[in-house]
Structure 1
Amino acid sequence: MQQAIFSTRAWALALLVILGAAPLVAVSQEEFEIHNTRVRISFDPDAGTWGMAAQDGSVRFSDAAVAVQLGGTSVKASEHCRRIARRQQGSDELGEFIRLEVSHAGLPHLAELVWSATLRPSSAYAVLRVSARIAPDAPGPLQSIQVAEVSGKPSLRFGKEPAEWTRFSDSGGQGGTGVSPFFTGEKAGHASPATLVVHDAGARQSLLVGWLSWSGSNPALRLAGSKQEGLQEISARCSYFIRDSVSEAAAEPLLIGFEPDPLASLDEYAQEVRLANHPPIRKDTVLGWLSWYCSRLQMTEQFVLDNAKVISDRFRGYGVDTMQVDHGWEYRDIVGHWVANDRFPHGMKWLGQELEKLNVKLGIWMAASRVSEFAPFYAEHPGALIRKPDGSPWVFIERWTWAPHGRVFNLDPTHPDAQRHYRQSLQGLMDAGCRYYKVDFIGSAGVTDGLFHDPRRPRGNPLVRYEMQQIRDAIGPDSWLRYCSSPTNVYCGIVNIGGATMDIGNASGSWDHLEKYHQQLGSCWYKHRTFWHNEPDALIVGEGPENEARLRCAWLVLSGGVVALGDNLPKVAPERMAMVPKCLPPYDVAARPLDLFEHVPSRVWDLRVRTPWDDYHVLGLFNFQEREAEIAVPLDRLGLAASRLVGWEFWTQSPVDPGSKPFSVKVPGRDCRILVLRTAADRPQVLATDMHLTMGGVELPEVKWDAATGTLSGLARRAPGEKGTIFLQVPPAYEVIEGGAKQADCVVSVPLTFQDCEAAWTVRFKKGPANE
């Protein structure tokens, strides 16, 4: 590590300083501070508070209070005590760091209170941790740990024009996440169980506060202020619902960042979440089919097999291999008795075997924690359900949506009979060959005032995770596990797949709903492959208007996540079926919504595509207005303002001219355009294809230019029987002598037919007379 990374000092050994009422040595404030080139963070040994500031002074706060609530008593770090400061250096998956740790001894009712802050070289954020060892004389159970409480104008400096501020909030659910004005009146307060960002675009300042985990407590954030005074409050607190006393506890780690670009701040935050939780993110991803939207409760085993035959014949070559049977396969269409109903007369094990013959696998929907009053388990084990404070079973759904309706309860995950029910229900599906589980209607175990068989277990998030962990343990580490309800972040570290947004719904022109879906999906880009694999819900192209089908294709490809085809495939018209391969397989990287903080809904999504032969941008331009809109492309945000570029639009299969200043594209009402932008070469180059929306990201594994022979060649990859075209950008100095046909000015097309999964192609050129 370079000495200049954090300080002018070389901290070869941890520095230890002890403070008391009468310190034995003089102590400088510097010894309670760490910094890098961008931020500094310090602990005030006299006041017992901490602060953080950007090195340029643009953003800062001070006097952040730390406290532990024990019963009705608040124990604050600011009270008189002995303090010990230590500095540590180390490294982890994300690189080097330095940590300042301050421990407190002599506080009432606490054996020890420890506060720490961690910085990385050149980063504009810090990670804060607070833990406590609780003394036997505590006046009551642990109720909360306060990591930060900042209030008052003198303690906060942020931004210049509060009226123009925007804020990002993670709702903690599958809807409601996104950006909106910070102020809609003179005063405002915003809360989140996960992440908040306030952004001042004019001042180029952002403040992010975000929890890194949700495993042992129930964390909450709040930012508040007024247009007159600006930001006035930062609050970060972890609550605990524990009946018995505990000897030690730790708050969830908290990240606070000052990165000017809020998108970059969220990206950095997500990497720290990944490090804190070690989620089961895999190198592969799920490509499958989903029954719900195309069949609802009319689904039969033959319906599933008919769709599986299409998957096997048409899409297995792209990696589609999972048939996810949704709600409607189980006993009486209710929850709590997970055996096949009459529409699946041969049972799920037989279905799994039939699917294997088609070279695909069984996936399943289930509400593993729910129990209908019509399920045998309800009559046999009423004591294994979550109960109200009066002892009666807690009814979480008064009337199940589908016949025979009835009340719905929730398993008590601490009860042995409930735990046995999880294992037995899931083992039957494991025996049927199921290795993909979509778990819905989960999360009710988080009620904090219910009665549970084991009253010692912490309530809220810890119990919700305990419930999901039992499902994970039953299906094993190799099965795919997806949550499908709120809360969301609490499952990070257990599930493989997260529902990135609300249900997409059938293609029926529900534009208000689709706009909300779009905003939620775009706002969660940073969670893909950091929290889990994002799933954007089903791809439906066989119904509805063509413009809506184009939007749905764009959402699937640009979100980068799990694929779930949602049509009744044998009934899809050929021209619509041809849209599906253009989304397969996924590139598996999520596009960033460049204007997330400037425009609601976001209109410009940027997917950076890196291949062995090129590094380029694919842009999704979205228009939710009824009329045509001209959408500006922010080349400066892409780092391309000074570059000579070539471009192509996928849906119209036509060139675009990125050289115009400013560069903008007309997008029809309620539609999208997909652009590729590449740095122009002084020789022939690949411009685009009509085979996949990434226009080279997955379907062109190899491209080579041989200057000696004037040959551009490569390999293309598609399913056998498919056809496609590669478009080449050819400078005026070159002309084709073999292998391609002129498409437009400076554009040559190369048609391909795939006898096998790969097709080789070659185009030879010569320079024109003016350049010889």
Structure 2
Amino acid sequence: MPHPPTHSRRAFLKTAATVASAAMASKGWPQEKSAAGMAVPVMKNGNLLLSINNEPNGSVNFEIEGWPGFHIGPLMPALTVDGTSIQPEDCETSSEQNPKKRIARYSFSGGMILTLEFEGDGESVAWIQPVLHNGSEKEKTLNHVVLLGSRLSSGEVSFGADPASVRVLEQGNYWGRVVPITRQAKESSSQTNLEPNEAPSQQKVASDLVCTVYDRNARMAFLTGYESSERWLGRIELAAQEAEEKGYWELGFDGGDLLINPGETISLERVSLSAGPEPWSLLERYGDRVRNRHQPSIPDVPPVSWCSWYPYRLGVTDERLLETARIAAERLKPLGLSIIEVDLGWQKDQLPSTFEENDQFPQGLARVAEELEKSGFKLGVWTAPFTISEFDPLYKEHPEWLIADEKGEPAAYWTWFWAPHGKVFILDLTHPGAQEWLRTQMTSLYQRGVRYLKSDFIGCESDALARRRHNPRIVAGGGTEAGRIGARIIRESLPDALLLNCGGPEMPGSGHWPLLYSCGDTGNTGFLTSKFQQENYQALACHLFKNHRWGIIQPSCLCVGLPGSIEEARLRATIAFMAGGQIDISDTLTSLPEERWEILTATLPPLGISARPIDLFDPVYGKPGYAYSAACQEKGLPEPPPEEHPPGSVWHLHVKADWDEWDLVSLFTFKKEKADENPEIRNFMVPFSMLGLQESERLWGYDFWDRQALGTVPGKRRNPRDYSHPGDFQDLLTGDAPGALDISFVGPGVKLICLRRQRSHPWVLGTSFHQSCGTELRQVTWDDAHGILRGELHRPPGESGVLVIHNSGKTPRELQIDGEYSEFRLGANGSTVVPIVAAMEPSRWSLQFSG
């Protein structure tokens, strides 16, 4: 229906707003004053306050109770349509007399109407459901959408009284970071391997899907998160005010040049807003809301796979694959390995999306799948299904199936990094011919026995280049709809295969991927910088909340072999284990040293639960450096202030078994000294409160990788006269302040610490078999009448390792394993070390004590 003239509509809106305000005031709802002096109803959800100012243009403001200095607004929507940026001319608001619901309907020139429906649960979460209507008689092209933003309205944005205390989490498919908001606008996500995960044009600055702001001083967080991503990739951009530059906050997305019919109404992506004192809890609850909305199908148990890339790259052959399988069947299959995946290197001419085997697989994938099945393995393959090389016949035979440039010719997307190099192009998944081609290729893989598919570089469908596509009524460039079409085709063609998403839409929805690649490629050991590894694993930490909510995360490949150091191998293995997702092994099993096998098998099977990175937002501090020479001379020096470790340096996991529950704490340091620098001791002071423990608790500690009983935590070596010297650092525990885990070690490296409640009798501290420090044990009991500690070890026959037991002041006398007497030895800090070679599953053990 036609709109009334502007002046009469404004009069109507002012009258309606006055009536609504009076009605809400009579109900006792909170109100504030608009710029025009009118009462503005406030929608309250927990401590999050939202108000819509009817005069003059429906601007929106956010406040958070208990957060001094936090204010976002006024905010306004904006559209870019047919290449022209437009702002609202009018706004109608209503509340439907519901304190939990507000509606703002913005009218733009040319007949475009954007409706924002705000709804809250009254407790902790508010939602925004946007709907866009083309009220004109012409087709419109949607270029960009700002649902709410401060830049066009000259709004004031403040994330706290002191911006220096504010941290922001931003993330995308492969990247993530937590940085001071005062640095955030100047930095881009640039962590890169020596090989690319995605085309250079896809590097991100704005946060995809979710963003969390946290004020350390106020101890309050604000989360903005899209709960759907069916057609568009929602983004959040923000920055704090600095000097003459105003801060800003913007919620929106690339419209993907979607063609909207006259009279057509389309739903846009749903957004939720929440606030509270625990930023990680906000992320977990957001992840739960997304999962509950979309109900994705997720494997119950994280898969374990082997990938050919880092051992062999383009030199992979069918015989190398089968030789790997023969070893894996004996040593890794009992620990959960079920997939052998051939990465890039099996395709004809080594092209990214050809589906014919090359001469390194002379008998084809089908024969490999048959041989693997005999050993109990499924065949997996790598492909980049949406990336077409200039050397691919499809490029010449069907250029109309590729995204075009301004001249209508296939648009080069980037230059392929690996041989044979050359330009690559984006498959146009809005074209029926391209869709049918993809279906044919995927079906052929399934017919050849493929039951695991790693789809790489699939984020190209969201690249801005993909705008010039066959069907402009499907969102491609800048959005996710075309990529989801491709994902649905792949799922339909491989109905029971496991599918790994490398770069495509990560949020559940249509065309869902059950496995999610969640950080940059980890690369071979020994070659990558510490800075890259630190940033890459911080990125992974930002994604941990998605595990078992959006899918099973995969922290890239696990490499523990040469040429990297043993400490780097342990660090990588600890990250993979504590992530709780898929373990994707990528070592040369035919030549892996035995000490590296021990690291690998200790990581399997995956526990299936993710650690919490406790220092992403609130810091863990450490005492900086150590004056070696001065300490030797007993020269007292001023103690420097504690230093903050980089976010994501400390991960915590609470573990439960049928016989006990305990806490795992992993501490990572990546700093390397130059050749002419003295090694620097890295100290960590982890408050028990950050681990969910009482400050008054006294625990037993165990260092997994060094198989060492640490004694009582907190605790440290005490010398006469409080004498201190460098030899004190031979003990890992270097502080005994109440309520803290205080340890020091030289990096780069990792410590995996098990903290267990003290007992009045002997008890298991940990094992060397599994990083969980005890889930491989069952039926552990203490027989007080006979002074016997006994239990079962569930590991594959032939595997060897140790149990470490705290004696609790008693004396070990007699050890039996599977009914046979065996030897034990005394360990550190009042412990007993019990060597075990698993002869059967389970292996039963008992240790008798006296005293």
For this structure pair, what is the TM-score category when the shorter chain's length is used for normalisation?
A: 0.7 to 0.9
Instruction: Give runs of aligned pairs for residues 198-347 of structure 1, distance below 5 A.
Output: 198-227=213-242, 232-240=247-255, 241-245=257-261, 247-347=264-364
From 722, 732, 738, give the equivalent of 2:799. 722
Residue 658 of structure 1 corresponds to 713
Kept in 1: contact 2:682–2:744 (CA 8 A): yes
Residue 496 of structure 1 corresponds to 514
Deviation at 1:40, TM superposition (A): 4.0
Kept in 1: contact 2:794–2:841 (CA 8 A): yes
Structure 1 residue runs of 5 or longer lacking an equivalent are 1-16, 89-98
Kept in 2: contact 1:21–1:81 (CA 8 A): no
Q: Take 1:186 and 1:319, find their aligned partners in 2: how far apart are those partners? A: 44
Aligned residue pairs total 734
Kept in 1: contact 2:670–2:748 (CA 8 A): yes
* SS of equivalent to 2:409: coil
CA-to-aligned-CA distance 1:223-256 (integer Å, 9 cap, x gap): 1232469984221123422123261223322233
Instruction: Give runs of aligned pairs for residues 152-551 of structure 1, distance below 5 A.
Output: 156-170=157-171, 172-175=172-175, 177-184=176-183, 191-227=206-242, 232-240=247-255, 241-245=257-261, 247-398=264-415, 401-403=418-420, 405-448=421-464, 450-459=467-476, 460-485=478-503, 494-511=512-529, 512-544=531-563, 545-551=565-571
Q: Take 1:441 and 1:426, find their aligned partners in 2: how far apart are those partners? A: 16
Residue 702 of structure 2 corresponds to 648
* SS of equivalent to 1:214: coil
Q: Take 1:634 and 1:481, find their aligned partners in 2: how far apart are those partners? A: 40
Residue 636 of structure 1 corresponds to 689
Cα distance, 1:144–1:215 mapped onto 2, change above 3 Å: same
Please tell me whether residue 617 in structure 1 is matched to residue 663 in structure 2: yes
Deviation at 1:103, TM superposition (A): 6.0
Residue 608 of structure 1 corresponds to 654
CA-to-aligned-CA distance 1:378-431 (integer Å, 9 cap, x gap): 33323222211211112223455213x333222211222222221121112111
Kept in 1: contact 2:486–2:511 (CA 8 A): no
CA-to-aligned-CA distance 1:63-82 (integer Å, 9 cap, x gap): 44345665547464x93536
Q: Take 2:473 and 2:525, find their aligned partners in 1: how far apart are those partners? A: 48
Deviation at 1:672, TM superposition (A): 1.0
From 569, 573, 583, give the equivalent of 1:553. 573
Residue 713 of structure 1 corresponds to 790
Q: Which amino acid is the alignment partner of residue 149 of structure 1?
A: G
Q: Take 2:355 and 2:549, find their aligned partners in 1: how far apart are those partners? A: 32
Deviation at 1:329, TM superposition (A): 0.6
Residue 756 of structure 1 corresponds to 840
Q: Which amino acid is the alignment partner of residue 675 of structure 1?
A: I
Residue 200 of structure 2 corresponds to none
Cα distance, 1:536–1:137 mapped onto 2, change above 3 Å: same
Residue 639 of structure 2 corresponds to none
User: Percent identity over the alignment?
Assistant: 26
Deviates more, 1:376-385 or 1:354-363: 376-385
Deviation at 1:200, TM superposition (A): 2.7
Q: Take 1:712 and 1:493, find their aligned partners in 2: how far apart are those partners? A: 52
Q: Take 1:24 and 1:253, find their aligned partners in 2: how far apart are those partners? A: 26
Scaled by the length of structure 2, what TM-score is found?
Answer: 0.79
Cα distance, 1:658–1:454 mapped onto 2, change above 3 Å: same
* SS of equivalent to 2:454: strand
Deviation at 1:556, TM superposition (A): 1.2
* SS of equivalent to 1:102: strand
Q: Take 2:45 and 2:811, find their aligned partners in 1: how far apart are those partners? A: 52
Q: Take 1:584 and 1:279, find their aligned partners in 2: how far apart are those partners? A: 26
Deviates more, 1:680-689 or 1:448-457: 448-457
Q: Take 1:354 and 1:429, find their aligned partners in 2: how far apart are those partners? A: 16
Q: Take 1:279 and 1:224, find their aligned partners in 2: how far apart are those partners? A: 34
Please tell me whether residue 28 in structure 1 is matched to residue 24 in structure 2: yes
From 742, 746, 764, give the equivalent of 1:686. 764
CA-to-aligned-CA distance 1:612-634 (integer Å, 9 cap, x gap): 33332111111212333122223
Structure 2 residue runs of 5 or longer lacking an equivalent are 1-12, 30-40, 189-204, 620-644, 673-678, 715-735, 817-823
Q: Which amino acid is the alignment partner of residue 553 of structure 1?
A: A
Q: Take 1:231 and 1:210, find their aligned partners in 2: how far apart are those partners? A: 23
Kept in 2: contact 1:277–1:493 (CA 8 A): no
Residue 135 of structure 2 corresponds to 135
Kept in 1: contact 2:66–2:218 (CA 8 A): no
Q: Take 1:39 and 1:736, find their aligned partners in 2: how far apart are those partners? A: 63
Kept in 2: contact 1:372–1:406 (CA 8 A): yes
Kept in 2: contact 1:33–1:42 (CA 8 A): yes
RMSD between superposed Cα atoms in Å = 3.3
CA-to-aligned-CA distance 1:750-772 (integer Å, 9 cap, x gap): 43332333223334556x4xxxx
Residue 820 of structure 2 corresponds to none
Please tell me whether residue 53 in structure 1 is matched to residue 84 in structure 2: no
Deviation at 1:487, TM superposition (A): 6.8
Cα distance, 1:252–1:681 mapped onto 2, change above 3 Å: farther
Q: Take 1:43 and 1:24, find their aligned partners in 2: how far apart are those partners? A: 12
Q: Take 2:784 and 2:14, find their aligned partners in 1: how far apart are those partners? A: 69
Kept in 1: contact 2:305–2:338 (CA 8 A): yes
* SS of equivalent to 2:700: strand
